[in-house]
């Protein structure tokens, strides 16, 4: 199940890639709404919906120094797919392969969570963890994700949560 969702999210990232600079411009045919810093997408076959954003700030460090690195798309999303009973699954892609066996730290206004990694993707360990994170995201102002790449670079990506609640609720309603 995780690998199928990873494939779908990878496809979603390709769709979103050009569509989400900080302004969340509408350039994709399946983007159905914009809610401040978040965009809402919907596909029909299979039925799936997601709210997604790109970071407002990114800092890359190695050995304590800020470094310039190449990264692919950096996206935080919540995903809904009724046929797979997926309702509000958080997913993060850092734009690079995460260090094997590493986790991603998620901080929402001072409350910490841990996400497990697989390749370039990170998720909460369980549906109950997703539910806790979703509640915190809806109440929060910023989400900061800190991770480590296979090359040893530490990345810190800050996402605005302005519009998250409206976007997540819109995506959920479209995938009932």
Distance CA 12, CA 6 (A): 10
CATH number at residue 121: 2.60.40.1880
How do beta strands 75-81 and 86-93 pair? Answer: antiparallel
Number of structural domains found in the chain: 1
Q: With contact defined as beta carbons under 8 Å apart, do 78 and 92 qualify?
A: no
Q: What is the pTM of this model?
A: 0.84
Domain of 102? 2-174
pLDDT in 10s for each residue of the chain, 176 residues: 344 344 445 444 444 433 333 333 334 568 998 999 999 999 988 899 999 999 999 999 999 999 999 999 999 999 999 999 999 999 999 999 999 999 999 999 999 999 999 999 999 999 999 999 999 999 999 999 999 999 999 999 999 999 999 999 999 999 98
């Amino acid at each position: 199940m995780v690998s199928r969702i990873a494939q779908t999210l990878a496809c979603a990232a390709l769709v979103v890639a050009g569509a989400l600079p900080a302004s969340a411009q509408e350039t994709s045919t399946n983007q159905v709404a914009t809610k401040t810093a978040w965009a809402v997408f919907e596909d029909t076959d299979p039925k799936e919906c997601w709210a997604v954003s790109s970071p407002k700030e990114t800092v890359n460090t190695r050995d304590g120094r800020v470094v310039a690195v190449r990264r692919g798309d950096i996206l935080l999303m919540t995903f809904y797919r009724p046929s797979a009973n997926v309702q509000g699954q958080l997913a993060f892609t850092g734009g690079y392969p995460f260090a094997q066996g590493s986790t991603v730290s998620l901080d929402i206004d001072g409350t910490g969570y841990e996400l497990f990694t697989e390749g370039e993707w990170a998720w909460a360990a369980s549906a109950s963890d997703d539910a806790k994170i979703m509640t915190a995201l809806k109440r929060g102002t910023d989400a900061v994700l800190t991770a480590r790449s296979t090359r040893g670079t530490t990345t810190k990506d800050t996402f605005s949560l302005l519009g998250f609640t409206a976007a997540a609720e819109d995506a959920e309603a479209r995938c009932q």
